Structure 1
Amino acid sequence: MEKKGWDGFEIGAMLRTFDGAVSDIATTLPENRPYSQSSSFTASVADWRIEKPLFNKDYCIDCQFCWIYCPDMSIISRDKKMIGIDFDHCKGCGICVQVCPTNPKSLLMFAEQKDEESALSEWPQKEKKADTEVKED
């Protein structure tokens, strides 16, 4: 397949993630998958981003929603545990943040230039539950 830029495809073209049939993609490490030439995995798309998702492991429940819904397989997961984000291939679409069920979310979008340490310091804190115990007089 001829390599094309994003503007080289016809409107409505279907771009397949993999070349040929793939049988057990969930257990195949990303570096061993048969990605097609039209997949963003074969080329960096990091320069498209304005915002990037950052991950706070303190709030993650390893539900794998971010991994399942990421359109470019940019969520790095090993043994059903989220371990990071592949920023070479993340477009910054924010789907991972939208599907994250934790409160506060374990993934949040930040400006591309924001460093991880300062982003983590700005993370919303978990709200403490009010004491529901009733005192008797």
Structure 2
Amino acid sequence: MDFSMDGDPHHLSMEEIERAVEDQKPEPIQQLAVAVADQWWPVKQVFGRALGLPNTKFNSRKAFDVFRRLGLPVHDVKRDGPLPSSTDRTESSGRVDNLRLRSLELAVAVSAPRGDTNDLIVATAERFLAWLRTEK
């Protein structure tokens, strides 16, 4: 995936992320976590190693967002509560949250310019969510 950070272009792939943690142990998780190699990791630890950057060069929310957009299970301890024991890409580990977010983004893109009410936008989001769950 290509993205920019502080105006600089970057690329990050699943392979680079997995290589970044293959010889590491997870540091303690304060708030934001990402599941890689069947384990929860602090987002800054993985992001920094995968990009070859010190943790002071980026913020954890940027790392969290990039991992979420890549489809990795992510977890915000303050928002979502304690880390789940499973890191599988199942509904309990963030996949549905990512699908719900994407369905809401699509619903707003389609409905808001037409002036639809919030109820119609939510109904459209639910239809998108059902459609996204059937996509392979």
TM-score (structure 2 length as normaliser): 0.28
Higher helix share: 2
Q: Which has the higher contact order (CA 8 A, sep 6+)?
A: 1
CA radius of gyration, larger in? 1
| Alignment TM-score, normalising by the size of structure 1 | 0.27
